[in-house]
């Protein structure tokens, strides 16, 4: 790589890191595992007209991550707090007047309803029709993530979780 290439790369990276501030008001979701931004869009159930900027494959320390800026400030905390189902590292920032006014790590609630599917074939929730959303999990441990189906008591971790999203 030439010096010019290096310089352009550096400028690009700086620009990407400052991009949050090009939005007047909204929510930044940072540290998204590579390629999982669209699942987040579905979990948050955003309005179809909401403007969303997704940066994929950003260099992040030794890792590669995605980042999303949503031009919508009325996203319910209840929805944002489901994001550790995607990753414990996710970081949320609220932006107002081009400034970060709040930054926090989302925290899972004690119980998670509807957004997950119990994959135990004997679970009573399997007998419901496929378009019904009935499911309820208790969060046993937040980090590392461990959940238990309230109905059949099967346990789930980060690797065998199944999200109930289209």
Q: Which of 115, 114, 75 is nearest to 93 (CA)?
A: 75
Query: Which of 69, 80, 108, 118 is the binder for Zn ion (CB under 5 A)?
Result: 118
In Å, the largest CA–CA distance within the chain is 63
- CA dihedral (116, 121, 124, 129) in degrees, to 10, reads 70
Q: In 3-state terms, what secondary structure has residue 112?
A: strand
Does 151 engage in binding with Zn ion (CB under 5 A)?
Answer: yes
Query: Which of 46, 152, 158, 163 is the binder for Zn ion (CB under 5 A)?
Result: 152
Does 94 engage in binding with Zn ion (CB under 5 A)?
Answer: no
Closer to Zn ion at the Cβ: 56 or 158? 158
The span of 10-18, 24-32, 60-68, 118-126 binding Zn ion (CB under 5 A) equals 118-126
Does 117 engage in binding with Zn ion (CB under 5 A)?
Answer: no
Q: Which of 71, 79, 104, 70 is nearest to 90 (CA)?
A: 104
Cβ atoms 106, 87 nearer than 8 A: no
Cβ atoms 32, 68 nearer than 8 A: yes
Supply the minimum distance, in Å, between the C-beta of residue 163 and Zn ion. Answer: 15
Query: Which of 69, 82, 117, 149 is the binder for Zn ion (CB under 5 A)?
Result: 149
Interface with Zn ion in residues 6-65 (CB under 5 A): none
Closer to Zn ion at the Cβ: 70 or 149? 149
Closer to Zn ion at the Cβ: 50 or 120? 120
d(CA 149, CA 57): 34
Cβ atoms 46, 29 nearer than 8 A: no
Does 134 engage in binding with Zn ion (CB under 5 A)?
Answer: no
The span of 11-19, 52-60, 99-107, 111-119 binding Zn ion (CB under 5 A) equals 111-119
Give contact residues for Zn ion (rule: CB under 5 A). Answer: 118, 120, 123, 149, 151-152, 154
């Amino acid at each position: 790589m030439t010096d010019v290439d290096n310089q352009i790369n550096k400028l690009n990276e700086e620009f990407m890191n400052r991009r949050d501030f090009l939005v007047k008001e909204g929510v930044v979701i940072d540290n998204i595992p590579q390629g999982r931004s669209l699942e987040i869009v579905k979990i948050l159930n955003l309005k179809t007209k909401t403007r969303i900027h997704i940066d994929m494959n950003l260099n992040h320390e030794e890792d590669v991550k995605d980042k999303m800026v949503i031009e919508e400030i009325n996203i319910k905390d209840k929805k944002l707090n489901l994001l550790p189902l995607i990753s414990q590292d996710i970081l949320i920032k609220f932006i107002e007047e081009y400034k970060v006014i709040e930054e926090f790590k989302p925290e899972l609630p004690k119980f998670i309803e509807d957004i997950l599917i119990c994959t135990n074939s004997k679970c009573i929730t399997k007998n419901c029709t496929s378009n019904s959303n009935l499911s309820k999990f208790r969060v046993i441990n937040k980090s590392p993530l461990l959940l238990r189906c309230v109905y059949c008591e099967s346990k789930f971790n980060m690797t065998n979780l199944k999200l109930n999203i289209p």
